[in-house]
Amino acid sequence: MDLNRPALPLQNKAARNKAALAASAIAVALLLSACGGGAAPQGAEQAAAADPASGANASGAVNICGVKDASGIYKGTAEAFTKANGKVTAKYTEIGATTDEARTQIVQRLEGKSTECDIFLSDVIWTSEFASQGWLLDQTELVEANKDRLIPSTVETTKYQDKYWASPFFTNAGLIYYQKDKVAKPETWQQLYTEAAKAQGNGFVYQGKQYEGLTVNFLEMLYSAGGEVLDDQGNVKIDSKETRDVLDFMSKGLKDGSADRAVLTYNEDPARLAYESGKFGYQRNWPHVYRLLNATPLADSFGVAPLPAWEGGKASGVLGGWNLAISAHSTNQAGAVAFIDFATTPDWQKHVAMDYSQAPVNEAAYSDPAVLEKMPFATELLASVKGAKPRPISPVYPQISQAIYKNVYAVLSGTDSTEDAVKKMADEITTAKASF
């Protein structure tokens, strides 16, 4: 999951969405249906369902499409599946160098009813958008059949309108890296910030730039404090005491030196590089940073911890990762089911960790000795994944996220008050939801 995405104006984004919907009669019908009273669009209601039993007799070829395969995990899985299956051949096709480019290419193919791709690699935040348009097979029965393999929080990223529209492939959750000779392992966010402010060199770095990463950093605290953006019925709930408490806390941390003010310019890599300088005590980042840190002078001097809890609350991460969605226009749906069955097996999920340094969606993999040898922090990572929650589930999630990070940034940078920012956030999220 690439969180380093360009900020898109809310109004322009909505306009582009409307233009895209107007491009086809089916999409227009879906939009009108959605605006008629809050029911699921016709496309989602009438979607065909994947047959869990079909994979056993599958044959032919399956094409999986998605973002550039930097780690080799997608091509590697396709090759391993082909070798193990014998009756179905799978290949991976890159259709975008970045997450945003891949999404654009996926949408074009789905809108055009292209049969090129049987499975799409779907970012966890795309589920609602794609399902609401009737672009995906309903995988509810398939997910239910494989549910005993899957960590429950990862399954939730595939859910829309009480159905499952994809299968988790690998997941992601934030971690705290800390310098063991400077600061203590954090149990609460309040403790972390207090420790960070005690002395120069103890400070905290995170992703505070005005982009998706700031949404994630903010939600990790908000969820832990008991707050939410949308409730189970989709009602906007972000105008709350918890939101104000978290914004005030984050803002105070920048003022008192707990967090370095440069975080306002940081996404993942700058935060990592700042921490690698040795001038900070804590860093919030993703699991892949562990391997990179071990190639620096900080190797063996740092610890890894799950995200801490809000004082009086429970620790809660925000899930990232990628899911496997079957195109409604696939010409080999049985082959797609067979591939998903393979990719989610406990055995292959161990390779997801050992060979590709990604977070498995199978819980047993985290305690496997071979995995622990390659990923010693697997226990901490599992704790973060199990305690994590999805981002707000909505077909207009990109606009919701922008409303969050834009207004959180305004408070942190000192250009807006907490009270005004919370009101604007709630209003902009309400407007975004009304646009669908």
Structure tokens at 252: 């105070």
Residue 43: band (very low, low, confident or very high) from pLDDT cuts 50, 70, 90 = low
In the predicted structure, residue 143 carries a pLDDT above the cut 90: yes
At 378-411, the pLDDT tens digits run: 998 998 888 888 899 888 998 999 999 999 999 9
Asked whether the beta carbons of 335 and 353 are under 8 A apart, the reply is: no
CA 120 from chain centre, in angstroms, equals: 16
At 288 the pLDDT is 82
Architecture of domain 47-172+319-387 in this structure: 3-Layer(aba) Sandwich (3.40)
pLDDT band at 32 (very low <50, low <70, confident <90, very high): very low
pLDDT above 70 coverage of the chain, percent: 90
Please state the pTM of the whole predicted model. 0.78
What mean pLDDT comes out for the span 111-127?
Answer: 96
pLDDT at 14 over 80: no
Lowest-pLDDT range, 6-10, 112-116, 256-260, 392-396?
Answer: 6-10
Listed residue (140, 148, 135) closest to 167, CA to CA:
140
Report pLDDT for 398. Answer: 87
Name the token pair of 37: 């009273």
- Alpha carbon of 304 to those of 10, 185, 291, 344: distances in Å? 37, 8, 12, 26
Phi and psi at residue 215, to the nearest 5°: -55, -45
Phi/psi at 362 (5° precision):
-105, 120
Give the range among 27-41, 283-297, 417-431 with minimum mean pLDDT.
27-41
pLDDT of residue 277: 96
Two structure tokens written together for 146: 């494989």
97-107: pLDDT as tens digits: 878 789 999 99
Asked if residue 271 lies in contact with residue 207, where contact means CB atoms within 8 angstroms, the answer is: yes
CATH 3.40.190.10 residue ranges for the chain: 47-172+319-387, 175-318+396-434
Whether the predicted pLDDT of 5 surpasses 80: no
pLDDT tens figures, 331-357: 999 999 999 999 999 999 999 999 888
Q: What is the pLDDT of residues 21-31, one digit of tens each?
A: 444 333 333 33
Check whether 135 has a pLDDT greater than 80. Answer: yes
So what's the pLDDT on residue 97? 85
Could you please state the CATH topology (level 3) that the domain comprising 175-318+396-434 is classified under.
Answer: D-Maltodextrin-Binding Protein; domain 2 (3.40.190)
Mean per-residue pLDDT for 156-169?
95
pLDDT at 11: 42
Instruction: For residue range 352-381, list pLDDT tens digits in order.
Output: 999 888 899 999 999 999 999 999 989 989
| 227 token code pair | 């707050």
Give the chain's mean pLDDT: 89
* pLDDT (average), residues 293-320: 94
- 63 forms beta bridges with 91
